[in-house]
Amino acid sequence: MIKPDFTQAVPADLGTVHFVGIGGSGMSGIARILLGMGHKVTGSDLRDTSNVAALRELGAEIFIGHDAKHLGNPDTVVVTSALWPTNPEYLLAKERGIPVIHRSQALAYLTSKREVIAVAGAHGKTTCTGMIITALLDLGEDPSFVNGGVIAALNASSASGTGNLFVIEADESDGSFLHYDTAVALITNVDADHLDHYGSEEAFEAEFARFAQGAKEFIAISSDDPGAVRVSRLIKDHRVLTFGRADDATVRLFDVDASGARVSFAIEFEGQTYKAQLRVPGEHNAINAAGAFAVLVGLGFDPAKSISGIETFGGTERRFELHGESRGVSVYDDFAHHPTEVSAAIKAARAVVGSGKLITVFQPHLYSRTRLMAKEFAEALSASDQVVVLDIYAAREDPEPGVTGALVSDAFKNQAQVHYVPEWNDVPAVAASLASEGDFIMTMGCGDIYRMVPELLEALEK
């Protein structure tokens, strides 16, 4: 991965913009807004995805594969930290002296004249961001937004609104969430991750505290997550709203019923109780809703109308997303890629599958994360009935000797429930053979595992 050069000045006018890796959720969202502003946008990506197709329809010129000839003659180049330093488009842009800016700098450029609501956290930030956006629209606001996933009801991950609010998912993986002029900071949790970048849990938490301290208006933060509690102690001279089950939480969550396909709960705020039922399952989504509620009431919106707006949220792409059914077996996909997320996703799926079996097809993401958390992944995944573990999706990392998906499968206490299948083409048949009518198969991971869904449905047919 490249080390972003945040000293690079952002041009006053971005002009023609070339995105290296334009198909990513964050990159495509920024590109969409720039297209709407009248900028010429070009880009490249490794695969011709739905995000790429949507941007092409809006007028972007996009190449598949990375090649120096794809660069063209842009005024500005936008990159992500996940880029390899040998990328030919990146190298040519640097050689030619074209301003190369990180995607967070491009997003900061877009948000510079708006009131920024920045949502950060190890888990739940895409959903929380989606809930805030959906509720604001229901409340009659017209916010701009860039989210890390497509909001189902809007069929978009970004939009340029006419209002003053700009809601963003702020990425903590490389420290870039510090670059926004944040008015309101929402911290869902601070569960240690990205230690390949931060080096230690203490450094990870210190960066979240810096992010919180940068909020000009207020901070909404979990009252329950241990890491968030430690970060709260580092926040000085700021208005802080806490949310969660703690008795002293500003927004207190209670009576959570996550036993079915829709989670219901109650919230106590300023002596009043508000009941809600979401359109999505899982206790974790009740917690996400409490965080979104804290932001809305902190901004001054009516509590009852805010909770009603949150109830209209219908989910985001790649969060327990149903893709189809074959032979009575439902096939879902989920983005979970950290043990805490895996545990929450499986718990939610179990509440929906009922008496059926849950077969999780898991693709580990990053060598460093797999090496550090193999045991935790095994413990979380073992809540499934059967698990198929693939090899690691490397993303921005070079391979590490001896680090494979087998580290996860070998850590299972019950070896009868896990199957390590390193070859992609072998996985669909194995997963299909484990499933019967009424069961769920759920692909899981933030790599390219979602691409296996059609193959699983075909294998079930066979």
Question: d(Cα 42, Cα 65) in Å, to the nearest integer?
Answer: 13
R_g of the chain computed on alpha carbons: 22
- List Cα–Cα distances, 83 to 59, 69, 237, 261, in angstroms: 24, 17, 38, 38
Find the catalytic residue in 125, 141, 316, 321: 125
CA angle 318, 356, 361 (to 5 degrees): 40
Find the catalytic residue in 89, 169, 205, 321: 169
3-state helix, strand, coil in the chain (%, to 5): 35, 25, 40
Maximal C-alpha separation, the chain: 63
**Burial class of residue 6 in the structure, from the number of CB atoms within 10 Å of its CB (0-12 exposed, 13-18 middle, 19+ buried):** middle
- Could you confirm whether 270 is annotated as catalytic? no
- Segment (H or E) for 298: helix 283-298
Question: d(Cα 176, Cα 103) in Å, to the nearest integer?
Answer: 9
- Classify the phi-psi angles of 234: left when phi > 0, otherwise alpha if psi is within -120 to 50, otherwise beta: alpha
- Could you confirm whether 169 is annotated as catalytic? yes
Question: d(Cα 359, Cα 434) in Å, to the nearest integer?
Answer: 7
For the chain, report the end-to-end CA distance as a whole number of angstroms. Answer: 41
- List Cα–Cα distances, 16 to 24, 52, 71, 73, in angstroms: 19, 18, 11, 8
Question: d(Cα 62, Cα 48) in Å, to the nearest integer?
Answer: 9
Name the residue among 75, 32, 26 with its Cα closest to residue 53: 32
Strand 218-222 and strand 165-169: pairing? unpaired
Find the catalytic residue in 76, 80, 126, 182: 126
Task: Report the catalytic residues.
Answer: 125-126, 169
